[in-house]
Structure 1
Amino acid sequence: MTLVLALVMVTLVLPWGAVPATRRLAELLPPREACTALTGAALLLAGGTVTALIGLFHVPFLASLEQIPLSQAAAEWPATVPVAAVAGAVLAFQAVLLVRRWYERRSLLARAWASTGDAVSDGDLLVVPDSEPQAFALPGWRKRGGRVVVTTGMLRTLGPTEREVLFGHERAHLTGRHHLWAVTACLAAAVHPALRPLRPALDFHLERWADESAASSVGDRRLAATAIARAALAAASAEKAGGGRGPLLSVSTGPVPQRVEALLQPVPVRPQARRTQAAVAGLVTAVTVSALPGLVLAYGLHEYVEFAARGLLGDRAVE
């Protein structure tokens, strides 16, 4: 059982170290690859945590499968019932958080769609008559396809070419289905508190991904930087004044100065340095090591319980 407990500790503790490493690696990668690294790490680490807790919760059940009375199992391993109870309580708490966050997301999406009731449709654009400068990507809802929502106030803030940058930015969110990436990180953060810092990091790199797509569509990085800065500052001012309708993927999301500075630099490329390759390999190893124990924990617990059954009941009882 010592080995099993060690696996559990690795699964539950290592995310505290894997998350900072993932965020550091994401800073070295182009936006799309950074989003992949952040989302993949969130899924693996959250999956390993849940699997470890399920394994601990099932210890009494595994003992019953091996025909070991619960009293005997508790005598062999006194922590059986308390550990299973704690694991079950944590799983229940995680389930409540997951359902709550999913409901919040759906409610936010419903409210965002409801706010466009007076909008004028222009292809994939929904132009809302509102003096507050706002623009955001609105994912599909109830058989309605995704739309780019922009207010008349935002259209007046930007020039014609700057509008094309804005539309390209928000369309990149829709075509890349960035809302699903963001929801994944949000739900993973409900599983393990160490995963919470991945959410703002992913939000930033999703915005950077959309920024780069917009710059590529207009072919002018400086123009893209100017348009993003003007739109983001205008939207941020509206939000401070109590406005703002958009869900997560708004043009003002993330630290705008860093985004603008990145657009004024050359197009980001995947680094080829050996140091970066070593960092990628190290991160993949760390995340895998932290997730793998949870994935094999159930099998290890079963083997342990079967071994205990042989000692308590004899070989015939477990054949």
Structure 2
Amino acid sequence: MTLVLVLVLVLAALVFPWAAAAAARRMASALPPREACAAITGAAVLAAAGTGAALVGLAHVPFLALFEGLSLARVAAAWPAALPVAGVAAAVLAAQLVLVARRWSGHRSLLARTWADTADAEAEGDLLVVTGENPDAFALPGRGLRAGRVVVTRAMLQVLNARERRVLVAHERAHLAGRHHLLSVTVHLAAAVHPALRVLGPVLDFHLERWADESAAEAVGDRRLAATALARAALAGASAGRAARGPLLSVSTGPVPQRVQALLGPLPTRPAAPSAQAAVAGLGLAVLACTVSAAAVAYGLHEYVELASRAIRGH
């Protein structure tokens, strides 16, 4: 295993996430919402894992050298780039771990604050009605022994009629039932590992909302009513400045016109068009390349250290 091949494998593991992200976006546009969310999350996790494995492979070169009984000074003399590269990789890994930990802590803090803010809300089953001048509604995931709740402000309830309120509540309940916040948080954390994965967050948010839209339409049995209710609720929520908030998924997340248009069209089905098949194949190849190349990095670096060991020892 030559140094050139090792560098090629490392480059592949770090570059392929860009291809995986592009393929995942294309594939998601050709799939029903539920499958699209699974594809985006899977691609993000595999690409992040491949990047992390590549960095671990680079960072542990000095440890492999010590395992082979070589001093770092002798390894540096035979391979001058070994220690600087390992140091950079270790620094990047440390930064990634800090960023992931901060994002996770931010999500947990947000949930804790939101649960505290809704402590005095009026409970109606799984529905929490809170006071507030701004129309708002979102799915509040469970915390500890408390199950998830649908949080709606009185101002939002006043915007909608009785039938439209059924759609709104069904939409947010779909977020809770599908545990959509876990998918959202997973992709958000994966984006801390590789910058290519940042584009998948908004794409996932849109398809999560589409998934909840379709579930709400199925619950009320009227796609046109669902489109009207979600458009009105989303526009009202947008006027309150609602933005995507990770684990707190709101009905106003994502491009509302595209969501309404989709509800006014036919029920989404899995296409069999060649373009969709090509997108599936592209995504599979991209994530497979990430995983295989990252796994090969560790093996390749070990082989290179052994090669350096024999060269240093003169046999």
TM above 0.5, yes or no, is yes
Once the two structures are superposed, the pairs formed by residues 81-230 of structure 1 within 5 Å of their partners are 81-230=83-232
1:55 is aligned to 57
Q: 148-157 vs 126-135, which deviates more?
A: 126-135
Q: What amino acid maps onto 1:77 in structure 2?
A: W
2:273 is aligned to 273
Structure 2 CA distance for partners of 1:76 and 1:245, relative to 1, 3 Å: closer
Answer yes or no: is the 8 Å Cα contact 1:112–1:246 preserved in 2: no
Q: Distance in 1 between matches of 2:248 and 2:23?
A: 25
Answer yes or no: is the 8 Å Cα contact 2:141–2:248 preserved in 1: no
Structure 2 CA distance for partners of 1:229 and 1:171, relative to 1, 3 Å: same
CA-to-partner distance for each residue in 1:261-292, whole Å, 9 max, x for gaps? 11111000000123321321122112211232
Give the SS at the match of 1:271: coil
Alignment of 1:40 with 2:72, yes or no, is no
Q: Distance in 2 between matches of 1:263 and 1:113?
A: 32
Answer yes or no: is the 8 Å Cα contact 1:238–1:244 preserved in 2: no
Shift of 1:246: 9.6
TM-score, normalised via structure 2 length: 0.95
Q: What amino acid maps onto 2:302 in structure 1?
A: H
Answer yes or no: is the 8 Å Cα contact 1:136–1:247 preserved in 2: no
Q: 87-96 vs 14-23, which deviates more?
A: 14-23
2:262 is aligned to 262
Answer yes or no: is the 8 Å Cα contact 1:116–1:128 preserved in 2: yes
Q: What amino acid maps onto 1:309 in structure 2?
A: S
Q: Distance in 2 between matches of 1:96 and 1:77?
A: 30
Give the SS at the match of 2:143: coil
Structure 2 CA distance for partners of 1:6 and 1:276, relative to 1, 3 Å: same
Aligned pair count reads 313
Give the SS at the match of 2:134: coil
**2:68 counterpart (66, 69, 75):** 66
Q: Distance in 2 between matches of 1:11 and 1:42?
A: 13
TM-score, normalised via structure 1 length: 0.94
Shift of 1:312: 2.3
Give the SS at the match of 1:113: helix
Q: Distance in 1 between matches of 2:250 and 2:160?
A: 16
Give the SS at the match of 1:117: coil
Shift of 1:132: 1.9
CA-to-partner distance for each residue in 1:72-102, whole Å, 9 max, x for gaps? 1111111001000100110111011111111
Structure 2 CA distance for partners of 1:247 and 1:184, relative to 1, 3 Å: closer
CA-to-partner distance for each residue in 1:217-267, whole Å, 9 max, x for gaps? 111100000000000111111227xx9999530111111111111111100
Shift of 1:135: 0.6
CA-to-partner distance for each residue in 1:168-196, whole Å, 9 max, x for gaps? 10001001000000001100110011110
Structure 2 CA distance for partners of 1:122 and 1:196, relative to 1, 3 Å: same
Q: What amino acid maps onto 1:272 in structure 2?
A: A
Shift of 1:39: 0.4
1:285 is aligned to 285
Shift of 1:19: 1.2
Q: Distance in 2 between matches of 1:296 and 1:215?
A: 47
Answer yes or no: is the 8 Å Cα contact 1:119–1:128 preserved in 2: yes
Q: Distance in 1 between matches of 2:71 and 2:164?
A: 72
Q: 205-214 vs 150-159, which deviates more?
A: 150-159
1:312 is aligned to 312
Shift of 1:156: 1.1
Shift of 1:58: 0.2
Give the SS at the match of 2:240: helix
Q: Distance in 1 between matches of 2:118 and 2:282?
A: 47
Q: What amino acid maps onto 2:96 in structure 1?
A: Q
2:30 is aligned to 28
Q: 106-115 vs 27-36, which deviates more?
A: 106-115
Q: What amino acid maps onto 1:144 in structure 2?
A: R
Calculate percent identity across the aligned residue pairs: 65
Q: Distance in 2 between matches of 1:194 and 1:30?
A: 24
Shift of 1:314: 5.8
Structure 2 CA distance for partners of 1:276 and 1:45, relative to 1, 3 Å: same
Shift of 1:129: 2.2
